[in-house]
Amino acid sequence: MKDTLTLCSEYLTDAGVDKFQCVLTERKHHEMNLEANEMSLVRTNVDSTLNFTVIKDNRKGDISLNSLSSDSIREAVHTAVELAGVSQQDPDYDISPQQETAVFCRGPAQPDTERMYAVLKGYAASVPTIFPKVKLAETIFSHTVVTKRFINSNGVDYTTHKGVYTLVTVFSSKDGTKTSSINYTSFSLCELERELLDCSSLRGLLQQSVEHLDAKPMRGKFVGDVVITPDCLSDLLSYYTSVYLGDRALITGTSILKDKLGQVVSSPKFTLSARPTAAEIADGYFVTPDGFAAEDVTYIENGVLKSFMLSLYGANKTKRERAKNSGGCWVVEPGDKGLVEIIAGIDKGLLVARYSGGNPSANGDFSGVAKNSYYIENGKILYPVSETMISGNLADLFKSIKDISAERIDFGAAILPYVHASGVTVSGKE
């Protein structure tokens, strides 16, 4: 019996399409769940998904299905050709050119279920002991192994085997009728050597959750300094790259950085890379969605914009260069000051641990609540704040960076420091 991709490519060739790409993804997922600090569920999923794209007469259609019988694939090919046939012509649709066939491997291929249970149970036991006021809400500890094969009609043939453990944990604290804001974090691991509490930023976030039982509104309003934590920086980087560097921002022309390639767009202290193939990244990737071998890319180097984050289509459409990866796996270079030293230099500011806000507008204006955050005065953290808002502009924020911490948090899917910036409007209660 022919394998799924061979069958699919034969049907596509028979259908007379000009170009195609096919991706077969086989996924085995094993997870254990804590609910209200109690082991509640073991869940396993096995799935195979076939995605393919056809281009005919510069018209394109995309299909995804997980029923992989020959009849289902034949029907899906017919549907894809129909989808393409009614779409508009666009000469910028394309697939990746021939590249050397390669196989990529990363991470554990099988879950160690006994060890998974032991470390999750250890986490569930440790939290009430060390942080008795913390309430664990939803906690999901999973192992996922994905085998993905990418082929296209130009002869590209990539296979990726990737296994990774991931923890997602959501928590708050409660003491009598006092309740702290909810907080959460997630991180990825290739090995289960350490206890979960000792990974990433988890222990510090749980401690902060307890401290936020006594959060109070900040009074008044000021424009000043903020220190953005690594957890919060992760969200802001997603906004920044989407609003200024991605396909939609460049195709629509709304990015205010669209003419800034090679120019200074941020503080010279800021260097941002996406390193999906680096050994230090547990949850990376090796092939882009449009069929290129991913490379590690520095997007901003010492404040200078070195690359947009354009796919093949985005690059063709905007007549710019394609990015050598599809972003994510962010690594920000560390600075030379410790967090304590950075905070010691701030007269009045906010340690921003989580941004709960609306999506930034097309020019990068943002406005939201600074959750799980702390008021800083005269070089010291004074108290945890509630009902405190921050607003500003993303481009201005990254231009205003004064310092970057020497410490960084390894999330498995990113490695990020604390960032000290200025010019943010901080408003508390009147």
Minimum distance of another protein from residue 89's CB (angstroms)? 9
User: Which residue reads 């050994």 in tokens?
Assistant: 279
Nearest CA among 384, 348, 334, 351 for reference residue 228: 351
Contacts with another protein by CB under 8 A: the residue count is 84
Segment 304 to 323, residues that bind another protein, using CB under 8 A = 313, 317
Binding mask 16-35 for another protein (x = CB under 8 A): ----------------x--x
Minimum distance of another protein from residue 100's CB (angstroms)? 29
- Cα 182 from Cα 172, distance rounded (Å): 5
Please report, to the nearest 10 degrees, the dihedral formed by the alpha carbons of residues 124, 130, 132, 137 taken in order.
-30
Segment 118 to 137, residues that bind another protein, using CB under 8 A = 121, 135-137
Segment 250 to 279, residues that bind another protein, using CB under 8 A = 251-254, 256
Segment 338 to 357, residues that bind another protein, using CB under 8 A = 356-357
Segment 381 to 400, residues that bind another protein, using CB under 8 A = 386-387, 389, 391-392
Q: Which amino acid is at 116?
A: M
1 binds another protein (CB under 8 A): no
Coil, strand or helix: which one is 173? strand
Segment 171 to 210, residues that bind another protein, using CB under 8 A = 171-174, 177, 179-182
Residue 269 DSSP symbol: T
Nearest CA among 398, 384, 410 for reference residue 173: 384
- 152 CB neighbour count, 10 Å cutoff: 23
| Options 8, 55, 63, 287; binder of another protein; rule CB under 8 A | 63
Q: Regarding beta strands 348-352 and 330-332, do their DSSP bridges make them parallel or antiparallel, or are they unpaired?
A: unpaired
Minimum distance of another protein from residue 350's CB (angstroms)? 14
Q: Is 156:99 a contact under the CB 8 Å cutoff? A: yes
From the list 88-96, 269-277, 291-299, 377-385, the region that binds another protein by CB under 8 A is 88-96
Minimum distance of another protein from residue 82's CB (angstroms)? 5
Kindly tell me which of 121 and 380 has the beta carbon lying closer to another protein: 121
User: Which residue reads 């073991």 in tokens?
Assistant: 42
